[in-house]
Amino acid sequence: MTENNEHVHDHKHNHAHSGLRGKITLIVITSLLLIVAAIIEKYGNLSTLQLLFVYLVPYLIVGYGTLKEACEGIAGGDVFNEHFLMAVATIGSLCIGFLPGAETEYPEAVFVMLFFQVGELFESYAEGKSRDSISHLMDIRPDVANVERNGKIVTVSPQEVNVGETIVIRPGEKVPLDGVVVEGTSSLNTIALTGESMPRELSVNDEVMSGCINLTGVIRVKTTKSFGESTVSKIISLMENADASKSRSESFITRFARVYTPIVVIAALFLAVIPPLFSPSAFMESFPLWLHRALIFLVVSCPCALVISVPLTFFGGLGGASRRGILIKGSNYMDTLSKIGTVVFDKTGTLTRGEFAVEAVHSDRFNEQELLHLAAHVEHFSTHPIGEALRSAFPNEAHDGCPVTDVEEIAGHGIKANVAGRTVCVGNQKMMDSIGVKWHDCHRIGTIIHVAVDGEYAGHIVINDRIKEDSPEAIASLKRLGISKTVMLTGDRKEVAMDVAGKLGIDICHAELLPADKVEHVEALLSSVDKGKTLAFVGDGINDAPVLKRADVGIAMGGLGSDAAIEAADVVLMDDKPSKIAEAISISRRTIRIARENVWFAIGVKIAVLVLASVGLSTMWMAVFADVGVTVLAVFNAMRALRN
């Protein structure tokens, strides 16, 4: 994010606050002038025309912006908007007193404009709160980076740092770019990215994401991405564009208002003119009465509550989700999330850590530590994940001084080496067969690494991908939400996949799949999803990108997930916790529920007052409540979405 964008963001923020102060000032001044006008009307003994000029002062002060918007709408071809309705209704109220037998309605005209401004004040406040809930993400934007160049530390803009350069991050500083720790230990505050308050411990070779805050120690980080490709840039870009995609509910309200408003204006015109025509002799006597009803009809029918509150609800839902480390790329995905009936998972990196670890050691000749000691030394130079798992299980391997010579890697079999004078073979069953060693299988599920020492079988080590701590809770939470089907698709071996699925309580599991196979399975599942329900796919790898695109809603792991997966997904979980899926569904359902409450409440009240207005049982005050009052209540209700 450039400094210019930062300046624009701050300018908008300050402008919004000054706009709120301006509206409050306008409302206070108008209220005082309205009281003065009412006193003059009561004690001044003025003519109708003189009284009009008295009330025009507060009317024009509070209504100037609305009248200007109405004129601009007419000039721009957007005639039938809420400003036009307010202008017609209030100008009619100011003029009605000049008709024979009609009473003046100057205070009512000013009050309609005044309360319209009150409604807009609450709308602006609520929208500001919604934007604040999203703009907190802007706080994660780093300002500078301290990069090592020619033996010196130079402070530059993060955009000027190249991939592969080393940056120094001191305590209290933001991490400016994604990278890997090459020196130092520390802890990171990741709350802005993940919503998690617990600091994350860091040491050498750990990955760091831009946007986090370094808490304790000085660390040196080798950058792995440019600033434009870094986590912080992508998150801010996602959230800046999130409200560009309108939900079906939002789009419906916008279309509804465009059709609804001209119908209302024509209906009000008919209400004012048609009934008096049935008594031509008394036309001028009955016309003021019907005109008054038509003006009330216009005020009541203004669709502000719908046009304002529904988009505001979705915007609040997006902001509330972002505070929990759930980035939803548009309010249209709120609709889809709320209707999920099937959730399909990738396994590795999604439900499991994607990190191999030693799960069990079964030794025939040595104790467990000795067997691990020998295996870890043989795998000393290996870059394979299995080698890393063995070395991690015996961390002192690199420093115990035990000599390792004659290392030989046998493709598809394993590794052979001389460890402190012993010939040690570490590999699969093919290796054991090739050297004539009789081996035995293990009852445990996982990758079995056999070990032979000096031509004799020494035992085996079970290595497995570790299930994430919150994966069981993730599946259980989805079941509680009424998700009817959970599915796991993986390229892993069938027995490993079935073991993970069984431990987590997943309904259906398909294993040994290629990326194209995953798409086929998702296609089949989509065709069997219940009517009115949607399907979500959750993944993290490059090979998951096609499936993420094909699903009704794609959910990616944003912390360690691939760029391709994050780009293809509709929802990104910043802390890689699958339990956030249920949270995202709950937030979307609550947001949709609040939006529907506003729609039905607004329509219900308006219909009731419109019916009363058409038969002469409604007053202008009731009309003001049905318009502005309902809008204010709907806006307050919409603000509940922020508390997700």
Residues carrying an active site annotation: 346
Q: What are phi and psi of 465, to 5 degrees?
A: -75, 130
What are 152's strand-pairing partners?
149
* Helix, strand or coil, per DSSP, at residue 522: helix
Find the distance separating the first CA and the last CA of the chain, reported in whole Å. 27
Of the candidates 513, 467, 519, the residue with the CA atom closest to the CA atom of residue 490: 513
Tokens representing 345 are 């998972």
State how far the Cα of 424 lies from the Cα of 241, in Å rounded to an integer: 57
Is 85:269 a contact under the CB 8 Å cutoff?
no
Residues 6+ apart with CB under 8 A from 144: 155, 156, 157, 158, 176
Question: What one-letter code names the amino acid at 97?
Answer: G
Instruction: Determine how β-strand 571-573 pairs with β-strand 422-427.
Output: unpaired
Tokens representing 296 are 């009330």
CB-based burial, 462-479: b 16+ in 10 Å, e otherwise = bbbbebbebbbebbebbe
Angstrom CA distances, 153 to 162, 188, 220, 251, 618, stand at 15, 22, 11, 52, 75
Q: What are phi and psi of 164, to 5 degrees?
A: 95, -10
What are 342's strand-pairing partners?
485, 535
Walk across the sheet containing 326-328 and list its strands.
Answer: 326-328, 571-573, 553-557, 534-539, 340-346, 485-489, 508-510
Is 611:287 a contact under the CB 8 Å cutoff?
no
Question: What one-letter code names the amino acid at 167?
Answer: I
Tokens representing 69 are 């918007």
Walk across the sheet containing 186-189 and list its strands.
Answer: 200-202, 186-189, 213-214
- Count of beta carbons in the 10 Å neighbourhood of residue 287: 20
Q: What are phi and psi of 350, to 5 degrees?
A: -110, -60
State how far the Cα of 245 lies from the Cα of 333, in Å rounded to an integer: 8
State how far the Cα of 142 lies from the Cα of 513, in Å rounded to an integer: 41
Tokens representing 340 are 């999920």
The one-character DSSP state at 458 is E
Is 408:423 a contact under the CB 8 Å cutoff?
no
Question: What one-letter code names the amino acid at 584?
Answer: A
- Count of beta carbons in the 10 Å neighbourhood of residue 66: 21
State how far the Cα of 420 lies from the Cα of 422, in Å rounded to an integer: 6
State how far Cα 454 lies from the chain centre: 58
- Helices and strands in the chain: count of H runs, count of E runs: 21, 22
